[in-house]
């Protein structure tokens, strides 16, 4: 899985699909082409009756740094954030097969939101997580803000969203955002977990996914509507452009509140 020209790699091991983000030089940041490729891969997986479970992994030292800010500044935000499935073509898509996030490095901003959209999570103990969007003039608009709000006590969710700092894998495990933490490469643990899922009854798995999703968020449509409202307003703001430019130029942003 080393094809440098392909932003998303896809392979099969029996009934297990392995999807790998493959832009390590760009910290696996999401641009429009990667979004379209990831969406197409998950369309294929959903339609393949021989596949039971997916592992979402990444090449390089970073799992995913979120949206590619160069792509944002060049006008690709609408495709990345609001296309079918929203961020990565993944975070809001309906699925009948579980996805296991295999996090080997930093999962930040939209990268952490990809993880939050998965059904199970295994992580290297060296991985870090965070939603730094407030530091960039944006909001965690790929489901991250409301998903941490659903899963964590308000004070902890607010710390993650409003302070924009990072936390490590052990803290994520303590908060219940990660299922397993391991030393070294998390892929063997992800494969072990995927093998257990694949051995279970597929109709039972699909029903279980639907019921746990319904139980955790009966108001999903309303949450996504509020999410999109705030995200569209913010990405059109002067502060969002200032945040992206300041980040690219490695300087402190000068907020205008507009």
How long is the chain? 258
Task: Provide the token pair at 102.
Answer: 């295999």
Contact between residue 113 and residue 164 where contact means Cβ atoms under 8 Å apart = no
Examine the residue annotation and report whether 242 is marked as an active-site residue of this protein.
no
25, 79, 113, 242: the active-site residue: 113
Report how far residue 224's alpha carbon sits from residue 222's, in angstroms, rounded to the nearest whole number.
Answer: 5
Task: Please say if 113 is a catalytic residue.
Answer: yes
Q: Which of 76, 133, 242, 245 is catalytic?
A: 133
The residues carrying an active-site annotation are: 113, 133
């Amino acid at each position: 899985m080393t094809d440098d020209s392909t932003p998303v790699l896809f392979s099969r091991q029996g009934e297990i699909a392995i999807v790998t983000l493959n832009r390590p030089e760009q910290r696996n940041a999401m641009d429009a082409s990667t979004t379209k490729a990831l969406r197409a891969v998950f369309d294929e997986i959903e339609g393949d009756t021989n596949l039971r479970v997916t592992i979402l992994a990444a090449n390089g030292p970073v799992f995913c740094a979120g949206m590619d800010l160069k792509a944002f500044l060049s006008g690709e935000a609408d495709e990345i954030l609001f296309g079918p499935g929203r961020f990565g073509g993944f975070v809001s898509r309906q699925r009948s097969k579980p996805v296991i996030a295999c996090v080997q490095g930093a999962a930040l901003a939209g990268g952490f939101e990809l993880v939050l959209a998965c059904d199970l999570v295994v992580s290297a103990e060296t991985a870090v997580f965070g939603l730094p969007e407030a530091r960039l003039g944006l909001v965690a608009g790929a489901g991250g803000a409301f998903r941490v709000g659903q899963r964590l006590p308000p004070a902890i969710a607010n710390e993650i969203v409003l302070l924009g700092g990072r936390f490590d894998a052990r803290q994520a495990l303590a908060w219940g955002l990660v299922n397993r933490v391991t030393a070294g490469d998390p892929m063997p643990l992800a494969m072990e977990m995927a093998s257990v899922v694949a051995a279970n009854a597929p109709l039972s798995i699909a029903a279980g996914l639907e019921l746990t999703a319904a139980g955790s968020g009966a108001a999903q449509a309303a949450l996504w509507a509020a999410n999109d409202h705030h995200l569209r307003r913010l990405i059109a703001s002067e502060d969002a452009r200032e945040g992206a430019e300041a980040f690219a130029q490695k300087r402190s942003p000068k907020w205008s509140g507009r």
